Homo-oligomer: A and B are copies of this chain.
């Protein structure tokens, strides 16, 4: 793992101001990474509204199951996150370990256990030692407020080569509210040491029943539209907590939420892009837009089929505008496409029109684009008005080196 920062990393790390009502602390358990923090606590001064979305995996980790359960209460006093051990596929012992951490943290805070949320990321299948975390709880709660968002973003990293932060402000009922977000992940993937986690905090005053649909909507075309290798973690978790007092809106459809909705989308998209930019072995950031599909979901499936095709991804790594492979990936998606109306643009250059190579297409015209860091592919499949955009990276030998872990 380790090593140098991804060449696709943002030029600067976002500087996030505090959010009223949120106090952060980090610690080094000494259990996982050498000389690095690997434990993060977010403590809320008062119960915060909370919304969450989780992996669709059938083999979800113990913390994911716990969060799903606690989310029913809609309120959070704390989130505890450890990096280095995913506590996934650890059976009943894994469930007990997470339950123990949460129970003890609730005791320290003096709150209902259901107001404590947990996330774990790291190795799958290794029993989690609850004591390695619980022995830090007194200290962490005492120091809550000492750490900033950058410290928190660093403490949840695993194979990440840079911390991921994003922020925005929005007008809500005449006031300016903030949204801060941190995330980790080298893809929507589950190598030994990766998973996607995202934690969003806002000082807006929004009840859980408003936050939840807003978060689901924001995640749908941001975190759920990225892929590094099509592999889905057992632990993917995104939580959104709102600390504001009162109630700025009682319905997610309230037009007053327009600006907040847009800001939340921006923060999620920014973090989602950063995860792709830290994709294992990634050298190019790829945006794939599919239009003309039967419906939006069909467009997304076609776009994901292109984004996950090893042949498309290796061609991009090779700076080869191999549009035949894009046709193949459209064809295998299992969604309606009109072969004789299919059009493909790469970097704004029309390469294929109505089912065959464009008569004006010359490979030299897309070569400068293919040599760049940002690759844009647009495909119109010619059957309807469905549309979707997804984000991925190229597939390089470095991905294989990182994941093959040659031992011989």
Contact = CB atoms under 8 A, between A and B. Distances in A.
Interface of A: 55-60, 88-94, 123-127, 189-192, 229-234, 308-311, 314-315, 317-320, 322-325, 327-337, 339-340, 342, 352, 354-357, 371, 395-397, 399-401, 403-408
Contacts of A315: 403-405
A354 B91 contact: yes
A190 B328 contact: yes
The secondary-structure label for the interface of chain A is loop
A227 to B, nearest CB: 11
A319 B407 contact: yes
Contacts of A352: 89, 125
A337 B59 CA distance: 7
8 contacts: A58-B332, A58-B334, A88-B327, A126-B357, A190-B324, A190-B328, A229-B309, A231-B311
B328 A60 contact: no
Nearest to A324: B124
Quick one: copies of this chain in the complex?
Answer: 2
Contact of A192 (B126, B322, B333, B395): B322
A318 B189 CA distance: 18
Contacts of A318: 403-407
A90 to B, nearest CB: 6
A231 B314 contact: no
Given A58-B339, A59-B328, A231-B329, 14 more contacts: A57-B328, A59-B327, A89-B339, A125-B356, A127-B357, A231-B328, A232-B328, A232-B331, A233-B328, A314-B403, A315-B405, A318-B405, A371-B408, A396-B400
A154 B330 CA distance: 30
A355 B233 contact: no
A340 B62 CA distance: 11
Contacts of A60: 331, 339
A327 B397 contact: no
A334 to B, nearest CB: 7
A334 B59 CA distance: 10
Nearest to A314: B403
A59 B342 CA distance: 9
B404 A324 contact: no
Given A57-B331, A309-B231, A332-B231, A355 B89 contact: yes
Given A58-B335, A91-B340, A311-B191, A404 B317 contact: yes
Nearest to A363: B407
A127 B356 CA distance: 9
Contacts of A229: 309-311
Contacts of A92: 340
